[in-house]
Amino acid sequence: MYQPPHFREEDLTRKQDFVRAFPFGLLVTAGAGGLMANGLPWLLEAGAGAGVLRGHVARANGQWRACVGGTDALVVFQGPDHYISPSWYPTKQETHKVVPTWNYAMVQARGVARAVEDPAWLHAQIRGLTDMMEGRRPQPWAVDDAPAPFVEAQVRGIVGIEIEIVSLDGKWKASQNRQEADRGGVVAGLASLGTDDAATMAALVQERGRPA
């Protein structure tokens, strides 16, 4: 991932928190048929270095076959993003030397992906993932709410994917390369749109914006 210094995130905890906040990541692998990419929710758990990603795919999804015995993998986690108009920069009125851009936050995890068919591992993964997502709800659903034979049948229809992370790269592109007045213009411009996505990015620019 291209990372100019002012957009690079070095803090491991912040990057791990990002993955947990945006757990739906795009798994990219290469196999006999070339590149494959599928989006799936991930659990990030403690492990050596940056941790271990655990997910699962449908058995009918052929991507898991590329992971048998281990294969290099990339998982891309995408957070807030938004178009940035050059009209929002006070600099436009001064020089007109401005162009549009796109702000975004992203974390990329790399490691060796391996396929897992062990039922105990799969049960732990789906329970952990369910607890993570349902724990945010006032009346959380639990795996045990479903009939055991039904759950067993579902487990037989999936294959686990486990990745021990060897690198975790973070990029927060939030107008840090613009001067203070332009960053203020971006915040005001986003706020004027009145959408949740724009408000989220405005907050990120305020939080992360630093002089180049």
The per-residue pLDDT for range 82-97, each reduced to its tens digit, is 999 999 999 878 888 8
Is it the case that residue 48 has pLDDT exceeding 80?
no
The per-residue pLDDT for range 120-163, each reduced to its tens digit, is 999 999 999 999 999 989 999 999 999 999 999 999 999 999 99
Whether the predicted model's global pTM rises above the 0.85 cut: yes
What's the rounded Cα separation, in Å, for the pair 95 and 99? 12
Number of H helices, E strands in the chain: 6, 8
What topology is assigned to 5-80+104-174 in CATH? Pnp Oxidase; Chain A (2.30.110)
The per-residue pLDDT for range 13-41, each reduced to its tens digit, is 999 999 999 999 999 999 888 999 999 99
From 49, 56, 51, select the one nearest 19 (Cα to Cα): 51
What's the rounded Cα separation, in Å, for the pair 137 and 154? 23
Mean pLDDT, rounded, of the chain: 94
